[in-house]
Structure 1
Amino acid sequence: MLQTRPVLGDPASYAFPKPRRLAVGGGTVVAIDVPGQTFASVRLVHLAGGAAEAPDRMGVAALANEALEDGVLGNSSLPPALERHGAEWVSRVTWDSFVTGVDAPVNRLADATALLAEAVRTPALRDEDVLRRRDQILERFWLDASVPSTLATRALGSQLFTGRYATPLSGAPERLKGVTPEAVREFHASSIADVAGTLIVVGDLSDVDVEALGTAVFGSAQAAPRTEPTPPEPAPGELPRVLVLDRPDSVQSALLMAHRSPARSQVDLPRADGVSDVLGGMFTSRLNMELRERLGYTYGVGCRFDLRRDSGVFLISTQVDTDTTAHSLTASLAEIDRLQREGVTEGELSAVRESNTVGLPVAYSTARSLAGALVEMIVHDLPEDHIDRLRAGFERLTADDLAQAAQEYLRPREMVTVIAGDAKRLEGPLSDVGAGPVTVRDPETLWS
């Protein structure tokens, strides 16, 4: 017998847990006690991402971040040491941050954090380990670039920015080849080992000495002076414009449309994310309904803001059949134009509110997700109640707010389009649609 479906109740209210802050030595510990959460997350945040790298050391942050996994003994010694405590190493580099950490049972958290401290403060960074890691990044770079969407994404920076952002975060292959083990050790010493950073600890902390964890991680390291971000210069050239990365005989095109946007601190996130959701961020979005449901050109399309401390990018991405590429581009521009002219419907407004508020209790139900939110707050200087303010901002949104955001944050006349596909079949149709001058490049020459 079929059971009757349960009746849905009202969405549960949600409030982000209030963090506890401690000044320990030269650093700061930010902790959230989650009773019953016996698997904890620890993150150490340094504001030492790829954006500040010198031209002759592009990729040094990403390389150093990976090399820390070799531990104090070298030769990938850290993961086995952590496994003895049921712990896992976590690390990543963004344009703005250098993040390391561990996830571990709370009853082994002190041991796992001690290994984190050793790996961050006194890693071996042997020549052979750094060179091996560098070779792995280079091999992975070209392997990943064989995926059309990845290729287009990596080429995008050069169409929007000059300076460091014009080159992929991991460094261009020719540049990265010149990053020596000595350069990695110098970067680590000046930007990581000697800088305390901010330590995040999330889990059931009833029996955890959080201050002792901070003392173990920070040691004698000192706080780094805060620097004001400087907006990067735009790439030269006419706007809008189209770049085709030639992949002969490709039956599909990876289509990426993007323009510069303000930095994270200059954006009203509920309004920006809300209009992005309406345009392409939800299954029921304008772009998905047009390109997927009505035209049948793609399995899906998305758009989002990539916001950094000094700048930002708004981008639309999809993959379509080669013969539908030009029309996909013009159809996307038409949807932006319609959104700016007509605004949003009450149904779209309701969907934006629900998609950004109803799921919060689940989205922040783990130590890892709470730690991730704290990392964002630290990197972007956000208040401790940022998530609650964000929720309230989405709840207050009006249709007029989103209509104004469409005018303020969507800039189709400043759009650059990067397409990875068969140039022979694409160049003519793209030139005909009037989306700007079309340039064709061989992907092999992009970073040489």
Structure 2
Amino acid sequence: MSKLQLRPTLGAPKPYTFPKPSRVRVGNGTVVAIDVPGQSYVAVRLVQPAGGAAEPLDRMGVAGLTNESLEDGVQGNSSLAPALERHGAEWVSRVTWDSFVTGVDAPANRVVDATALLAEAVRTPALRPQDVLRRRDQLVERFWLEASVASTLAARSIGGQLFAGRYATPLSGGPARLQEITPELVAEFHSEAVASVAGTLVVVGDLTNIDVAELGKTVFGDAEAAPARPVTTPGSASGELPRILVLDRPGSVQSALVFAHRAPARAEIDLPRAEGMSDVLGGMFTSRLNMELRERLGYTYGVGCRFDLRRDSGVFLISTQVEAPTTAHSITATLAEIERLQADGVTEGELAAVRESNTVGLPVSYSTARSLAGALVEMVVHDLPEDHVDRLRAGFERVTAEDLHQAAREYLRPRESVVIVAGDAKELRGSLEETGFGPVEVRDPESLWT
């Protein structure tokens, strides 16, 4: 009988250096590229500054609807996907608060043809009125379908509780605002903010025999340079802080909880300190909130926290779903963990876990053309240096326990927070008021965006 083999001993983590991108100016745009020999699938991304934050208040959601409508291609009626499929390529697009991103993933030997289709879709789409209206109706239906999930409902309510202006409404614009977006408004937005703006083209993959400057010429054409992006701190929502908002879901046996407050803008925050502290609190399986709410109390399957950082502002949020009777205690237990972290700091074991989770996995995190392209897109959107990933890694390697302790005191603001509870208001209101966290308001979810 053969003996069981012993588990192999792990070696030391391999050092990781993010590939250095090349830059070339093409017309009024810039191509940023990373050559990855052997990576036969190429990721191409066009980054433009037409994000949701720049939308006028009477046209909220027009960027997202335009982005969706580009998938109908130059012939309309969803013609882009089959055209790309003939080259083994896939359409990729999204709108964030700070960017309008379109692109393709394609085999290296077909990327020239796929990029030409990308250029056509961005610069000269059909934008037939019937297609735009169909896309608009789909987005509205999707909004309500997704909002029927308690956790999504709670998360989409954050903006209206923390911000005034554009951020008070979801990125998609909300159903009422979306219904006001006409095909004419989409065509106007496309002409002014997309078709006529060159932007930055990100190209990642095996670039042997690929002329990235030619790809840039194909995509940019004679479009103008991207306009300067002013950064203005958004206003705050009215109302007393801290407070609790209950989104009434009669009969719900669970509560979705979101604990949120404003955070600094992306350029103003020290990521290794902030994200390391967030990992300790709720960003890892072994985090304090997960150990308390899941492992010790058994209230939830999991809890998480993160920073949502934008060019002009940010949000810190904690989210989980708990059994309805445990809702109030989940809030006070979360506050207690925040207070303990701010008072006592982190342990050496927690510090080691933060360093390991943010450094050891980098070779895997950036092993594909798509993931490398995603990192470059972030650098473009937030004006980050080309060695941003290496600086971030180095920051995590040298972060100290005292750094994370200071971050907890600096970045966690429980007295400036809103707790959003999607659950049965009749059953929850009394116990929520007894927490003493702040005034409790109850709202019908459908009243938030109508």
Both proteins in one fold, TM over 0.5: yes
- 1:349 equivalenced with 2:359 (yes/no): no
| 2:335 counterpart letter in structure 1 | L
Match of 2:330 among 328, 331, 336: 328
Name the counterpart of 1:203.
205
Alignment of 1:48-447 (within 5 A): 48-447=50-449
Q: Structure 1: which 5+ runs fail to align?
A: none
| 1:439 counterpart letter in structure 2 | E
* Partner Cα distance (1:154, 1:420) in 2: 11
* Partner Cα distance (1:380, 1:229) in 2: 11
| 1:320 counterpart letter in structure 2 | V
Q: Structure 2: which 5+ runs fail to align?
A: none
Structure 1 consecutive aligned stretches of length 4 or more whose deviation exceeds 3 Å: none
| 2:406 counterpart letter in structure 1 | Q
- CA-CA distance at 1:4 after TM superposition: 1.9
Matched-pair contact (CA < 8 Å) for 2:65–2:135: yes
Matched-pair contact (CA < 8 Å) for 2:49–2:229: no
Q: Give deviations 1:28-65, integer Å, cap 9, x for gaps.
A: 00000000000010000001110111111110000000
Q: Give deviations 1:384-410, integer Å, cap 9, x for gaps.
A: 000000000000100010010001100
* Partner Cα distance (2:240, 2:384) in 1: 36
* Partner Cα distance (1:99, 1:436) in 2: 40
Tell me the number of residue pairs that the alignment of Structure 1 and Structure 2 aligns.
448
- CA-CA distance at 1:175 after TM superposition: 1.1
| Secondary structure at 2:157 match in 1 | helix
Question: TM-score, length-normalised on structure 2?
Answer: 0.99
* Partner Cα distance (1:236, 1:396) in 2: 40
Q: Give deviations 1:300-358, integer Å, cap 9, x for gaps.
A: 00000000000000000000000000000000000000000000000000000000000
Identical positions, percent:
76
Question: TM-score, length-normalised on structure 1?
Answer: 0.99
* Partner Cα distance (2:176, 2:37) in 1: 50
* Partner Cα distance (2:88, 2:446) in 1: 43
| 1:447 counterpart letter in structure 2 | W
| Secondary structure at 2:82 match in 1 | helix
* Partner Cα distance (1:139, 1:228) in 2: 33
| 2:66 counterpart letter in structure 1 | A
- CA-CA distance at 1:3 after TM superposition: 2.4
* Partner Cα distance (2:446, 2:202) in 1: 41
* Partner Cα distance (1:328, 1:130) in 2: 44
| Secondary structure at 2:407 match in 1 | helix
| Secondary structure at 1:313 match in 2 | strand
> RMSD of the alignment, in Å?
0.6
| Secondary structure at 2:101 match in 1 | strand
| 2:343 counterpart letter in structure 1 | R
